[in-house]
Structure 1
Amino acid sequence: MSGSFQQITLDGGLQADLFLLRYDEDGRLLSPRAEEELKQRLPGVTDVYLFSHGWNNVFDQALERYRSFVNGYMEQRRAFAIPTPQGYRPLLIGIIWPSTSFVFPWEAGPEIAAAPDPEGREAAEVQEMLELVAKSLPGAKRPELTERIDGHTAIDRDDALNLAGLLLGTLRAQVDPDDGSRAPTAEEFLNTLQASAAGGHPVPTDTDRIGLVPDEGNEDGAPPVGGAPDVAGGLSFDPRILLRTATVWKMKARAGDIGAHGVSPLVGHILQQGGPRLHLIGHSFGARVLLSALATAAPAHKAHSMLLLQPAVNRWCFAGNVAGTGRKGGYHAVPDLLERPLLTTLSEHDEPLRTFFHLAMRGSSQLGEPDIAAFGNTDLYGALGGYGPAEEAGRTAEADAIFPDKGRYDLQSGARIIAVDGSVEFEGKPAIPGHGEVSSPVTWWALHCLTRPD
């Protein structure tokens, strides 16, 4: 694509250009002419709004999400007569990055439905995940992955350990950039997935087998008709669950790479001259795209604001001392690269970030807590969008989500991070009722609180 994708009408007939920039999986820009044109427009711009979607790489749906948020934000400005900066001339940029055409695995929950799938959607999803993960493996290792996935809904302990080791060694071998934890062992990882099948709690197993789904069986002990085969002494391990989790690791790393290698140069360019105010808005793993972009841009001037909507990053990512280890979180410096405090939402109604993220992202038990990290440790491995930032005295503040025209967030308290709790009710339902429901009057109002000149 080249040039402005479209113009959006603002108050008084003013037009705002919307540019869409597409990046490939390595962060290479695929829209160089569009980027060059938007750079030429910057001298006459007062405000740049940079958006990054979370999980959907389908162009039309990503575009619709951006339009919905922008239109709601602009309509709210008109409804409540919210002032604009003098000479207000905004420019809008939407990042299009390849995640997956299905929802992220942990957004659908860790399990694949066992019910019949007449439309073949489950099979198509498994095939896409298999192709995605296989690309990350050395060519000689791909048959090993494929043979353990194709046609299998249950594998024994040895195969499960081998498959876990194969994927961990390729997709989770490095220190986690959020919290500095080392990768779990294959045993630890399988135990964690076992816990996910039990709602985040350990499930006893015999000493020789690891499984995920207990076979209920019939009265005579035979497995139920259509059920998983009994390969683990009454417990079966579904390799597709491991494949789903590997997809999460892949997407997490990709979001960071696209931010650091693709979007970062643009952010640095916008901030280099100290011209337009830059506002960064990211959802889910899109929050990681923008955090990585700003953290690596080494900007000459600060960005003005950042709004993270149900971010899929570790809650210690801003900490100066992660869980008493003496390490800084991967994005510790980001709040100080902003003129205004960073606003980040959380909600107890975000099921994926509350129930599965910490199980997929947990590290080795050698983080410094030999026992408590074993299963379901939301304190260490919980998502920022599920549990809020880990406490750091004086740097973090908490606030209930504020409804339109019912007040403003305190941006003058000295806190650099404000955790906005979207669990509170608004018009009879939670302000943020789910992971993807982040374009609403409450979130538009949060952005207005960050961007309005008064």
Structure 2
Amino acid sequence: MLLSGFPAAEVEFDRTGALVGDRGAAVRALAADPAVTDLVVLTHGWNDDHLVARLLYSALAGSVRAVSGDRPGRRLAFACVLWPSRKLAEGGLAERLDLLRDLVPEQRLTIDAAADLVPALTARATARTAFAAALLSAAARGADDPEDASTQLFTLPGGTVMDRLGVDAAAHLLDFLAYYEMKARAGLIGVHGLAPLLATLAGPKLHLVGHSFGGRLVTAAANACPAGSLATLTLLQAVFSDDGFAGSFRRVVAEGVVTGPILVTHSAHDVAVDVAFAIASRIAGSDGFGAIGRYGAQRTAEAVAAELLPVGGTYRWRAGVPHNLLADRYVHGHTDVCGRQIAHALWSAIAAS
């Protein structure tokens, strides 16, 4: 398989992190090729089905091809991760409830019970309380943490949750729970799927690249990898807390998991990346919640403030620390991550590793 002329292979995980299809054989064979010096592991976000993911990978690889030129002694290959991510529901409460049923099918009866309460939500406070309580009981616990107010969410009475969410409370709650389930799934696949696969890949330098919730997936994988095992980590408009490298993923920085630079693109034009964190602020009743893809790595002493440069610009990378690349000039939306400026930053980091 070729991707814009680069050797490539796909690897697929199910929702539990188990390998499916060829169970990673093609990626292992690619990594075993002595001609491959650098393996770039691409991971798509939560808006993607497999077709859209492949289009994203092709576009990004094409941009890398356009800017990389020839570097003696280095040969890139791409491992393309496919995982069951889901797009936030569009439409009304019915569509949002259907998405949640799909994300946690084992809780279908509980979600159906919540759906039965929808006609009474505007008239009865007891219905609002029961609606929230049912949905919260359906969520898969274990991924809650204070970085997105999910810990607080699961300790609040249902009525309080609905009151804090205000107008369109039911839609906000369903959107947040869809985000939460995808957060949990991305973390699970990163820790129990991708990280163990990476441990079997001896030979090339490993470069993890994640877009959107794929950014959480690869960072969770990095957090489970041994110190010094990864060459670079690139987060393209990632959906996790801007406190992540100071909290849940502190080990990635503190223990030197990544020997080269960590790249974090962030853009004020990316509204979608911050939706769940705006809801988190309502849940907590305070501001202070934000996505790393909107604000960069915050409260992380090692983080370096920088900008995404035009092609040909010179980066001054520091090993093992996050570089907050302000991308407002080039990233104008959540999926605008395949441009040559991003490819130039990625290639520059790879070449420096």
Q: TM-score range by the shorter chain?
A: 0.7 to 0.9
User: Which amino acid in 1 is paired with 2:136?
Assistant: L
- Tell me how far apart the structure 1 counterparts of residues 181 and 342 of structure 2 sit (CA, whole Å): 28
- Tell me how far apart the structure 2 counterparts of residues 351 and 408 of structure 1 sit (CA, whole Å): 29
Q: Does 1:55 find its partner at 2:25? A: no
Q: Contact 2:16/2:185 (CA < 8 Å) preserved in 1?
A: yes
Q: Secondary structure at the match of 1:245?
A: helix
Q: Secondary structure at the match of 1:40?
A: helix
Q: What is aligned with 1:132? A: 102
Q: Deviations over 1:203-262 (max 9, x none)?
A: xxxxxxxxx15xxxxxxxxxxxxxxxxxxxxxxx5x344323221111111111111111
Q: Contact 1:48/1:278 (CA < 8 Å) preserved in 2?
A: yes
User: Which amino acid in 1 is paired with 2:276?
Assistant: F
Q: TM-score, normalised by structure 2?
A: 0.87
Q: What is aligned with 1:36? A: 25
Alignment of 1:45-444 (within 5 A): 45-78=36-69, 83-86=70-73, 88-100=74-86, 103-105=87-89, 112=91, 125-126=95-96, 128-133=98-103, 135-137=105-107, 141-149=110-118, 154=122, 156-171=124-139, 173-174=141-142, 176-177=144-145, 179=147, 182-184=151-153, 185=156, 186-194=158-166, 212=167, 239-270=170-201, 273=202, 275-298=203-226, 301-319=228-246, 329-335=247-253, 336-354=256-274, 356-361=275-280, 373-375=284-286, 377=287, 379=288, 381-393=289-301, 395-405=302-312, 407-412=313-318, 416-423=321-328, 425=329, 431-444=330-343
| Cα shift at 1:303 | 0.6
| Cα shift at 1:62 | 1.0
Alignment: residue pair count? 345
| Cα shift at 1:136 | 4.6
Cα gap change, 1:152/1:90 in structure 2, threshold over 3 Å: closer, same or farther? farther
User: Which amino acid in 2 is paired with 1:37?
Assistant: A
Residue among 2, 5, 11 paired with 1:7: 2
User: Which amino acid in 2 is paired with 1:318?
Assistant: F
Q: Does 1:445 find its partner at 2:344? A: yes
Q: Which structure has the bigger radius of gyration?
A: 1
Q: Deviations over 1:413-443 (max 9, x none)?
A: x6711101112x3xxxxx1111111111221
RMSD: 2.7
- Tell me how far apart the structure 2 counterparts of residues 374 and 126 of structure 1 sit (CA, whole Å): 24
Q: Contact 1:23/1:98 (CA < 8 Å) preserved in 2?
A: yes
Q: Secondary structure at the match of 1:297?
A: coil
| Cα shift at 1:7 | 1.6
| Cα shift at 1:143 | 3.5
| Cα shift at 1:84 | 2.1
| Cα shift at 1:397 | 1.0
Cα gap change, 1:153/1:64 in structure 2, threshold over 3 Å: closer, same or farther? farther
Q: Deviations over 1:64-100 (max 9, x none)?
A: 110010011101224xxxx4251x3322111111122
* Higher relative helix content: 2
Q: Any unmatched runs of 5+ in structure 1? A: 1-5, 11-15, 114-121, 195-211, 214-236, 320-328, 365-372, 426-430
Q: Deviations over 1:355-384 (max 9, x none)?
A: x221334597xxxxxxxx414x1x2x2111
Alignment of 1:22-33 (within 5 A): 22-32=12-22
Q: Secondary structure at the match of 1:22?
A: strand
| Cα shift at 1:30 | 0.9
Cα gap change, 1:172/1:383 in structure 2, threshold over 3 Å: closer, same or farther? farther
Q: Secondary structure at the match of 2:3?
A: strand
Q: TM-score, normalised by structure 1?
A: 0.69
Paired-residue identity, %: 23
Q: Secondary structure at the match of 2:42?
A: strand
Q: Deviations over 1:184-211 (max 9, x none)?
A: 21345324422xxxxxxxxxxxxxxxxx
Q: Contact 1:178/1:330 (CA < 8 Å) preserved in 2?
A: no
Q: What is aligned with 1:324? A: none
